[in-house]
């Protein structure tokens, strides 16, 4: 099987940075998974004794706690400070931005609209910085049923797609006197998405490598499916099914922003064997 | 015959207000035509001695000068103040808004984008309030060739259409970190159409008053016909035919955006006599 890699794929700046931070801070805890990739989390635990702690309450004083790329809610951060733990902030700078914007805009009286998934850790963190209850919408349809004020500030989960943000922005502009739009979508995601859009139109089969709970990986998979009916999402080479490749000649590969290179290489090698 | 007027018809709020101001200020000048309607301008000169003065330089001290609905450039206003004339401001409040926004946002360092026709008196006025040279674009295509900053404030000429504003806004959002969008479009034309759509569904007969060559009047007439088979277009009361009203009990009336109230009232009174 011939293989073609997407122009851009895999780790973004924020994830690379977080992993470097974790490797430099052996024997520390991360509050929730550092990144959305179970395999990489296991590697960090095995090689660096960086362990995942899900519950902020049970962190003990004097521990070193790494704040993961998605950030954590403001009150959890306050709790950590109270406990006098050593805080190592690996929050992606692109995630800190919407947190700061929401804090400032809500203080200035803007109604906050967050385009994102209310249950995603990044969004939970961003929500916590609003001094008034924000509207969190995953789509234009969800926004249309809401009561809107005159002055709106709109931010996006960093991994969302620009066209969907524009739909939401357009609705707000048509219905509100002032809409202050902060395009907090990360380009890395966009670049990976564009590369999948391009590649999936020229191959027989697309394989997206990434964690099944990773939002940006799922989006790559959705884009791939749009243009290539035979698109598959795998966490590593073990998920590959040889029957998928029967009668195919060219396989495109891309990977989510939290997928380490060593996993991608494993998938690539296995596919080349088919 | 019972008569019901459309919720919105004829002159918009800003034009009505300007005419009232002119009538209350006999023997004054207007800088340029007060509104875009020659018949009405003639009436104001004949009945109220309100005359049109095109050139700000030749206004003499102690004259009363009415500033027209579209507003005037900031420097012309300053010149009038220097000349010690009596200034009567009939600028439409919907036009004052983008002037104020542009003044404030340019002072705060936002790059100003104005969606409008650079040669329209309203836009000339708005431009003059920017402390930095604004980008004035009539379409998305014109914007795409421009160099953009990171922080943009966008306003619109009041008579532009929302879908075109959204095209421009979307481009800016996709390319800039922060876009602050002030929807300064006035919905008067849209509101007149909506009001005809509503009224024509509850009456036996609809009469639309306006010039037979007026495009927006014909649009109102077409909407009326859609919902009320007995719809008629008249230029003034002379066009009314009593046979239209036989067997009818409720007549709806609307009028084009360039139809003065005194013409509409003439039609209304005649119909009530039937």
CATH of the domain at B77: 3.40.50.11270
Shared domain check, B68 and B27: yes
Shared domain check, B85 and B20: yes
pLDDT higher than 80, residue B158: yes
Per-residue pLDDT averaged across B252-256, rounded?
95
Record the pTM.
0.80
Average pLDDT, chain A: 94
pLDDT higher than 80, residue B213: no
Spatial CB neighbours of B55, under 8 Å, sequence gap ≥ 6: none
Question: What's the pLDDT at A267?
Answer: 97
pLDDT higher than 80, residue B214: no
Question: What's the pLDDT at B140?
Answer: 96
pLDDT grade for A62, boundaries at 50, 70 and 90? confident
Question: What's the pLDDT at A190?
Answer: 81
Are A235 and A266 a contacting pair, CB within 8 Å? Answer: no
Structurally, chain A folds into a number of domains equal to 3
Find the catalytic residue in A122, A167, A198, A202.
A122
Shared domain check, B99 and B69: no
Provide the shortest C-alpha distance from residue B2 to chain A (in Å).
36
Shared domain check, B252 and B176: no
Chain A 143-162, CB below 8 Å of chain B: which residues? 162
- ipTM > 0.85 for the complex: no
Per-residue pLDDT averaged across B189-212, rounded?
92
Q: Tokens 């309030």 sit at which residue?
A: B129
pLDDT higher than 90, residue B221: yes
Are B33 and B63 a contacting pair, CB within 8 Å? Answer: no
Q: In this predicted structure, which of A36-40, A111-115, B75-79, B198-202 has the lowest mean pLDDT?
A: A36-40
Per-residue pLDDT averaged across A211-237, rounded?
93
Per-residue pLDDT averaged across A220-232, rounded?
97
Show which residues of B are catalytic.
122
Tokens of residue A79, six digits: 């709790």
Shared domain check, A213 and A243: yes
Shared domain check, A139 and A194: no
Chain A residues whose CB is inside 8 A of the B178 CB are 180-183
CB contact, 8 Å: B187 with chain A? no
For B162, name the nearest residue in chain A, comparing CA atoms only.
A174
Shared domain check, B165 and B116: yes
CATH code of the domain covering residue A116: 3.40.1010.20
Rounded distance between C-alpha atoms, residue A48 and residue A43, angstroms: 8
Question: What's the pLDDT at A165?
Answer: 96
Question: What's the pLDDT at A159?
Answer: 85
Shared domain check, A84 and A19: yes
Shared domain check, A125 and A67: no
Give me the domain span that covers residue B209: 2-8+187-273
Last residue of a domain, one of B26, B58, B92: B92
pLDDT higher than 90, residue A213: no
Three-class DSSP category at B144: helix
pLDDT tens string B112-135: 999 999 998 899 999 999 999 999
- Alpha helix ranges (H) inside A93-249: 93-107, 121-128, 140-144, 162-175, 187-199, 215-227
pLDDT grade for B270, boundaries at 50, 70 and 90? very high
Question: What's the pLDDT at A265?
Answer: 96
Question: What's the pLDDT at A175?
Answer: 93
Shared domain check, B127 and B65: no
Chain A residues whose CB is inside 8 A of the B183 CB are 173-174, 176-179
CB contact, 8 Å: A183 with chain B? yes
Rounded to 5°, the CA angle A241-A193-A141 comes to: 100
Shared domain check, B177 and B102: yes
Are A170 and B166 a contacting pair, CB within 8 Å? Answer: yes
């Amino acid at each position: 099987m011939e293989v073609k890699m997407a122009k851009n794929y895999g780790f973004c700046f924020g994830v690379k940075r977080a992993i470097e931070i974790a490797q430099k801070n052996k024997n520390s805890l991360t509050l929730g998974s550092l990144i959305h990739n179970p395999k990489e989390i296991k590697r960090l635990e095995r090689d660096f004794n960086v362990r995942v702690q899900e519950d902020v309450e049970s962190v003990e004083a004097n521990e070193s706690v790494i704040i993961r790329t998605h950030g954590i809610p403001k009150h959890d951060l306050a709790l950590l400070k109270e406990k006098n733990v050593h805080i190592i902030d690996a929050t992606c700078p692109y995630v800190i931005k919407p947190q700061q914007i929401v804090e400032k805009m809500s203080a200035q009286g803007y109604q906050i609209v967050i385009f994102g998934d209310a249950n995603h850790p990044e969004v939970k963190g961003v929500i916590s910085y609003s001094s008034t209850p924000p509207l969190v919408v995953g789509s234009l349809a969800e926004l249309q049923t809401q009561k809107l004020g005159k002055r709106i500030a709109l931010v996006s989960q960093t991994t969302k797609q620009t066209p969907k943000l524009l739909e939401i922005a357009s609705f707000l502009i048509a219905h509100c006197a002032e809409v202050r739009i902060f395009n907090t979508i990360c380009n890395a995601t966009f670049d990976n998405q564009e590369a999948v859009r391009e590649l999936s139109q020229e191959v027989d089969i697309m394989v997206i490598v990434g964690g099944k709970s990773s939002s940006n990986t799922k989006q790559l998979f959705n884009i791939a499916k749009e243009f290539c009916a035979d698109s598959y999402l795998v966490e590593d080479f073990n998920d590959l099914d040889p029957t998928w490749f029967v009668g195919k000649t060219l396989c495109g590969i891309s990977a989510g922003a939290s997928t380490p290179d060593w996993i991608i290489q494993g998938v690539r090698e296995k596919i080349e064997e088919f």
